[in-house]
């Protein structure tokens, strides 16, 4: 079987590659200033701009990572900032959410599940999959593994065969209850939880079509083996109809025949069939979290009440899906309910021989080669974070009835959401913690087996999202920093940061824990694959933030300096592709090529790294009703200044020193906003006027003020 690389963003890569060496940064792109560190800040700004250029809404996977990171730069050149706001509002509002509340992945085209990841698809399976494509129109080359065929072997009843063209097999239904039967086949239900029918029809709106099947045990069509689905809604556009036959208790045994019964009440319909094929369930357990947090980020930066009004019910539905279907309420963790996602590996080594279990080990998220559990630690951490996002949003909505945000049966109470989040942290924080290695496992399979390959990305995100306790955070960071060694790990101590720009994604060699479609991991050397000892630049952000919060600002800055030293060396060599061209320093992944290092091409999350300056060292957090500021500067920094911060309808420049804050304003806010500051007593002056005392504590947690154009605020810790 062909080996498939982690391949993200196939359609988008060529159109939105980074800007390249020598591109001029527009003067209104944010500046980041630390006196005495001018060269480091120039390099950081260049890194930021390099990955800001391609930033825009992508697949749902990136909704949380890219939204806030791309929305705050106030780049008015070519209308960029307003254009991005419009793109994010449109993309999030059009995320497909099914009637149950599952948010679709919106990744590139293939012949895999239409709401899921673009692989695995039926041709990547072993025995028991089947498909017939009359046309492969609109399917990217390399994402189908099959060929187009004619109608030979098909049986058409009650219809007229009008031939196969470049688009589809054309039929005219000349009798009521017309049908088509596929050639003889052999389908195993565990390999085929879905069927997909790609078709158009006009008119067929009043019909109630269904698929029926024969089995080895009963070679007749029967009303006992029937599953209904909706007819196409648009006669001019191909409809990709998902048929979840796994929901039928009769979908069992060995399937030997399929028949599509159009169930048309009258003759005369024109029907075009492009394909009928089996399908794995490639849905993800992470989409709903990313959609919700992307929406929260968008409204916090934009204060787009119209967007919130139109999307809040969809956000609440997406949350309800995680609490019910994905098991959040009952199990206090996310449980992957999809066929093929029971957490077991698709590979098994027995007596020195490799056994491939087709249909097992389908991925749940970005790390798409790894099964990631039946009980899914990664999705659970993000669920915990999402509960806190929604708690804050619901609290603000309740405090502002003038916003006119709809309520309804799915509206949640902020205190209840926070209490549930605490339960998730308490229960899942123990469930997924490996006391022997002092770190979190990625998941637990249906047999109760936990998997720990030293997943640095997962453990650092656990710290970043607040899922890890203080003790767990320090235990993890001691492992990352080499203060303690984990027995059996392939990479220990300083070698964890072998790639310099980021820790290895995993620290223990893995040749057995993958989806079956990645069936030769042993053929790739350690560090030659992103998910096995390789590294991804973007997730250094979580490393930097974890260090800042749980070690010190100085520790985080030391790590960032190492990244910037590497970046300047790479740029001096001509950029990522030039630096890694010979493969001596590592192999790049991207654009369809498997490699160990994720920097450019589909690795859009590289944009995250510079955000440590705004989100971490400056401590800026946008809110729908204001913002928080909690600077954490290394002792050697006299000040940190960040310009061109696009917040609501203003552009801010913020300067922080250890005991002072200066905020200059362009534009104005729509009424008073809450500025949250670190606890203590502050003296505030506006435009050089008389200072006022502001006690910030539990009784008075924020300062209410209307921001006006050309306003200058001075805040001094008393």
pLDDT in tens, 190-210: 999 999 999 999 989 899 999
pLDDT at 15 over 60: no
In the structure, what pLDDT confidence band is assigned to residue 227 with cuts at 50, 70 and 90? very high
pTM as predicted: 0.96
Least confident of 220-224, 276-280, 699-703: 699-703
**Integer Rg of the chain from CA:** 27
pLDDT at 655 over 50: yes
Residues for the chain: how many in total? 718
Cβ atoms < 10 Å from Cβ of 174 = 12
pLDDT at 7 over 80: no
Question: pLDDT for 107-128, tens place per residue?
Answer: 999 999 999 999 999 999 999 9
Least confident of 19-23, 100-104, 189-193, 220-224: 19-23
What's CA 509's distance to the chain center, in Å? 25
pLDDT at 21 over 60: no
The predicted structure's pLDDT at residue 16: 34
For residue 541, which of 3, 47, 30 has the smallest C-alpha distance?
A: 47
For residue 560, which of 617, 513, 520 has the smallest C-alpha distance?
A: 617
CA separation for the pair 71, 635 (Å, rounded): 30
CA separation for the pair 20, 23 (Å, rounded): 6
CA separation for the pair 354, 360 (Å, rounded): 14
In the structure, what pLDDT confidence band is assigned to residue 700 with cuts at 50, 70 and 90? confident
Provide CB contacts within 8 A for 122, sequence distance 6+. 111, 129, 130, 131, 192, 277, 278, 279, 280
For residue 551, which of 680, 460, 624 has the smallest C-alpha distance?
A: 460
Instruction: Please give the DSSP secondary-structure letter assigned to residue 152.
Output: T
Tokens, residue 60: 């749902």
Mean pLDDT of 97-101: 97
**What end-to-end distance do the CA atoms of the chain give, in Å?**
68
In the structure, what pLDDT confidence band is assigned to residue 407 with cuts at 50, 70 and 90? very high
The predicted structure's pLDDT at residue 41: 98
Question: pLDDT for 577-596, tens place per residue?
Answer: 999 998 889 999 987 778 99
User: Is there a cis peptide before residue 120, judged by omega within 30 degrees of 0?
Assistant: yes
The predicted structure's pLDDT at residue 1: 30
Tokens, residue 156: 């058409």
Tokens, residue 607: 């944009």
pLDDT at 13 over 70: no
């Amino acid at each position: 079987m062909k080996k498939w690389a982690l391949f993200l963003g196939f359609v988008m890569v060529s159109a939105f590659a980074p800007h390249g060496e020598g591109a001029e940064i527009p003067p209104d792109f944010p500046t980041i200033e630390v006196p005495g560190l001018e060269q480091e800040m120039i390099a950081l700004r260049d890194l930021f701009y390099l990955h800001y250029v391609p930033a825009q809404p992508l697949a749902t996977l990136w909704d949380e990572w890219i939204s806030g990171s791309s929305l705050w730069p106030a780049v008015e050149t070519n209308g960029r900032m307003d254009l991005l706001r419009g793109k994010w509002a449109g993309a999030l509002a059009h995320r497909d959410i099914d009637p149950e509340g599952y948010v679709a992945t919106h990744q590139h085209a293939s012949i895999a599940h239409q709401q899921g990841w673009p692989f695995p698809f039926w041709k990547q399976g072993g025995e028991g999959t089947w498909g017939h494509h009359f046309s492969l129109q609109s399917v990217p080359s390399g994402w189908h593994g099959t060929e187009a065929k004619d109608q030979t072997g098909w049986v058409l009843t009650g219809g007229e065969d009008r031939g196969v063209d470049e688009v589809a097999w054309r039929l005219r239904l000349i009798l009521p209850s017309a049908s088509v039967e596929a050639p003889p086949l052999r389908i195993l239900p565990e390999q085929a939880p879905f069927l997909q029918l790609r078709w158009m029809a006009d008119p067929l709106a009043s019909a109630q079509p269904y698929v029926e099947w024969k089995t080895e045990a009963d070679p007749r069509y029967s009303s006992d083996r029937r599953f209904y689905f909706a007819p196409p809604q648009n006669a001019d556009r191909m409809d990709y109809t998902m048929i979840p036959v796994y929901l039928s208790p009769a979908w069992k045994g060995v399937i030997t025949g399929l028949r599509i019964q159009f169930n048309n009440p009258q003759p005369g319909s024109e029907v075009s069939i492009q394909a009928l094929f089996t399908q794995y369930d490639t849905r993800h357990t992470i989409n709903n979290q990313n959609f919700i947090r992307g929406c929260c980020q968008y409204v916090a930066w934009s204060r787009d009440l119209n967007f919130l009004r139109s999307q809040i019910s969809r956000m609440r539905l997406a949350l309800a899906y995680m609490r019910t279907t994905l098991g959040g309420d009952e199990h206090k963790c996310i449980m992957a309910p999809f066929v093929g996602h029971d957490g077991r590996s698709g590979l098994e080594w027995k007596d020195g021989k490799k056994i491939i279990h087709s249909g097992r080990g389908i991925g749940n998220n970005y790390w798409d080669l790894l099964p990631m559990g039946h009980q899914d630690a990664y999705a659970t951490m993000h669920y915990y974070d999402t509960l806190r996002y929604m708690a804050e949003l619901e609290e603000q909505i309740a405090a502002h009835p003038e916003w006119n945000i709809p309520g309804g049966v799915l509206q949640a109470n902020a205190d209840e959401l926070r209490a549930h989040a605490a339960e998730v942290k308490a229960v899942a924080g123990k469930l997924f913690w490996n006391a022997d290695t002092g770190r979190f496992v990625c998941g637990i399979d249906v047999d109760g087996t936990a998997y720990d390959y030293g997943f640095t990305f997962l453990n650092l995100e656990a710290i970043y999202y607040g899922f890890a306790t203080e003790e767990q955070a320090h235990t993890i960071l001691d492992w990352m920093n080499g203060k303690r060694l984990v027995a059996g790990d392939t990479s220990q101590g300083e070698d964890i940061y072998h790639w310099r720009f980021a820790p290895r994604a995993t620290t223990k060699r893995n040749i057995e824990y993958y989806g079956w479609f990645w069936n030769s991991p042993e053929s790739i050397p350690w560090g030659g694959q992103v998910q096995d000892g390789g590294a991804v630049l973007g997730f250094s952000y979580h490393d930097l933030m974890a260090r800042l919060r749980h070690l010190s600002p100085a520790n985080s800055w030391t790590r960032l300096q190492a990244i910037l030293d590497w970046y300047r060396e790479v740029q001096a060599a001509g950029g990522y592709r030039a630096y890694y061209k010979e493969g001596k320093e590592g192999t790049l992944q991207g654009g369809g090529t498997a490699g160990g290092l994720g920097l450019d091409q589909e690795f859009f999350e590289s944009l995250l790294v510079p955000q440590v300056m705004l989100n971490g060292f400056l401590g800026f957090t946008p809110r729908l009703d204001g913002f928080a500021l909690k600077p954490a500067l290394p002792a050697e920094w006299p000040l940190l200044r960040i310009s061109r911060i696009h917040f609501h309808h203003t552009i801010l420049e913020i300067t922080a020193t250890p005991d002072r804050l200066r905020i200059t304003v362009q534009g104005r806010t729509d009424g008073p906003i809450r500025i949250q500051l670190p606890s203590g007593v502050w003296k505030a002056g506006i435009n050089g006027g008389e200072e006022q005392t502001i006690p910030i504590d539990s009784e008075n947690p924020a300062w209410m003020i209307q921001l006006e154009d050309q306003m200058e605020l001075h805040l001094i810790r008393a």
